[in-house]
Amino acid sequence: MGKAAGVPLSGVKKVMIRSANWVGDTVMSLPAIASLRLNFPRARIHILAKPWVADIFRANYDVDEVILYQNPGIHQGLAGKWRLARELKKKNFDLAFLLQNAFEAAFISVLAGIPKRAGYNTDGRSLLLTHPVLLRKEVKGGHQVDYYLAILKSLGLKLASRIPSLKIAPASQEEASRILQSLGLGESETLVGISPGATYGPAKQWFPERYAELSGRISEGLGARVLIFGSQGDKKIASRVCRNARIPLIDLTGITTLAQASALIARCKLFVTNDSGLMHVGAALGVPLVAIFGSTDHRRTGPLGEACRVIHKPVTCWPCLKTECPEETRCMDLISVDEVYEEVESLLANRQRMNNQ
Q: Is the pLDDT of residue 5 over 60?
A: no
Q: What percent of the chain has pLDDT over 90?
A: 82
Q: Is the pLDDT of residue 356 over 80?
A: no
Q: Report CA 138 to chain centroid distance, whole Å.
A: 22
What counts of helices (H) and strands (E) characterise the chain?
A: 15, 14
Question: What is the per-residue pLDDT across 281-322, written as a single tens digit (0 to 9) for each?
Answer: 999 999 999 999 988 899 999 999 989 999 999 888 888 877
- Ranges 115-119, 141-145, 222-226, 353-357: which has the least confidence: 353-357
Q: Is the pLDDT of residue 8 over 70?
A: no
Burial of 328 (0-12, 13-18, 19+ CB in 10 A): exposed
- Ranges 155-169, 182-196, 320-334: which has the least confidence: 320-334
Q: Is the pLDDT of residue 33 over 60?
A: yes
Choose among 331, 160, 174: nearest CA to 263: 174
- In this prediction, residue 198 carries a pLDDT of 83
Judge contact between 12 and 40, C-beta under 8 A: yes
- In this prediction, residue 4 carries a pLDDT of 39
- In this prediction, residue 7 carries a pLDDT of 67
* CATH class entry, domain 3-154: alpha beta
How far is it, in rounded angstroms, from Cα 133 to Cα 153? 10
Q: Is the pLDDT of residue 205 over 60?
A: yes
- In this prediction, residue 287 carries a pLDDT of 97
- In this prediction, residue 6 carries a pLDDT of 54
What residue type is 207 in one-letter code?
F
CATH 3.40.50.2000 boundaries in the chain: 3-154, 170-356
Torsion of CA 305, 309, 315, 320, to 10 degrees: -40
Q: Is the pLDDT of residue 274 over 60?
A: yes
Question: What is the per-residue pLDDT across 79-131, written as a single tens digit (0 to 9) for each?
Answer: 999 999 999 999 999 999 999 999 999 999 999 999 999 999 988 898 999 99
- Which H/E stretch holds residue 144? helix 144-154
Q: Is the pLDDT of residue 1 over 50?
A: no
Q: Enter the pTM of the model.
A: 0.94
Q: Is the pLDDT of residue 75 over 60?
A: yes
Confidence label for 53 from pLDDT (cuts 50, 70 and 90): very high
Computed over every residue of the chain, the mean pLDDT equals: 92
How far is it, in rounded angstroms, from Cα 166 to Cα 261? 13
How far is it, in rounded angstroms, from Cα 159 to Cα 38? 8
Region 54-75: mean pLDDT is: 95
Q: What percent of the chain has pLDDT over 70?
A: 97
- In this prediction, residue 203 carries a pLDDT of 79
Judge contact between 136 and 150, C-beta under 8 A: yes
Domain made up of 170-356: CATH architecture: 3-Layer(aba) Sandwich (3.40)
Q: Is the pLDDT of residue 323 over 80?
A: no
DSSP secondary structure of 149-186: HHHHHHTT-----SS------HHHHHHHHHHHHHTT--
